[in-house]
């Protein structure tokens, strides 16, 4: 009985017979054409992602500009008007001066009526 050499037909490289099975040349895989729906979806997703990133950047910038560290501003000193201090006046005249001061620039508190003279005409 002739010895039948073991031939591993699954792995041609290991074939002891030196038999090299010609593998049928597989045709180069043609690039799979994406359906327009998927392209649209990808485009939309990209736009959304872009907008999201932009919004993040804008909000972070705004936050930075708002968070200005408070600086203590010095309050301007009151301009001292050259007025005569009331306290320097003797008490007996204080009230009299005050009454006259209040009377000056005091006008009649009554508004002049505004009327429409065309009523009935």
Partner 1 sequence: MWLFFLLFFFFNLSPVKAQTQDELFTQYRQDYLFLRDEYQKNYLDFLNKKNVYIQYRSITSEQDMIESTKAVLFSRNKMLKSFLMALRVSLDKYKNINPVNTEKNQIQLSKWEEWLDEQNLIIPNFTNSSDIKEWATLFKNRYLEIQNAFYQALTQADVNLRLYNLNEIKLLAEEIKTDPKNNNFTQDWFASFPVKSDLIKNSLETATALAQKPQKARTFDNYYPEVRVQTQKADSYLESLLADLKAITIKFYN
* Site residues (vs partner 1, CB under 8 A): 84-85, 88-90, 93, 96-97, 99-101, 103-110, 112-113, 115-121
CB of 98 to partner 1, least distance (A): 10
Q: Find the shortest distance in angstroms from Cβ 63 to partner 1.
A: 51
Which residue, 11 or 112, has its beta carbon nearer to partner 1?
112
Question: Minimum Å distance from CB 59 to partner 1?
Answer: 50
- In the complex, the smallest distance separating the C-beta of residue 80 from partner 1, rounded to whole angstroms, is 16
CB of 66 or CB of 103, closer to partner 1:
103
Which is nearer to partner 1, 6 or 93 (by Cβ)? 93
Residue 37's Cβ-side half-sphere holds a number of Cα atoms within 13 Å equal to 0
SS3 per-residue string spanning the chain: CCCCCCCCCCCHHHCCCCCCCCCCCCCCCCCCCCCHHHHHHHHHHHHHHHHHHHHHHHHHHHHHHHCCCCCCCCCCCCCCCCCCCHHHCCHHHHHHHHHHHHHCCCCCCCCCCCCCCCCCC
Q: Which is nearer to partner 1, 69 or 99 (CB)?
A: 99
């Amino acid at each position: 009985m002739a010895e039948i050499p073991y031939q591993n037909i699954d792995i041609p490289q290991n074939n002891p017979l030196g038999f090299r099975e010609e593998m049928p040349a597989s045709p180069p895989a043609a690039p799979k054409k994406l359906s327009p729906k998927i392209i649209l979806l990808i485009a939309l997703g990209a736009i959304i992602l872009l907008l999201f990133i932009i919004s993040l950047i804008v909000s972070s910038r705004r936050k930075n500009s708002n968070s200005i560290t408070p600086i203590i501003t010095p309050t301007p000193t009151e301009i001292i008007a050259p007025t005569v201090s009331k306290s320097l006046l003797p008490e007996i005249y204080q009230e009299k001066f005050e009454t006259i001061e209040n009377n000056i620039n005091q006008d009649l508190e009554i508004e002049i009526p505004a009327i429409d003279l065309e009523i009935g005409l």
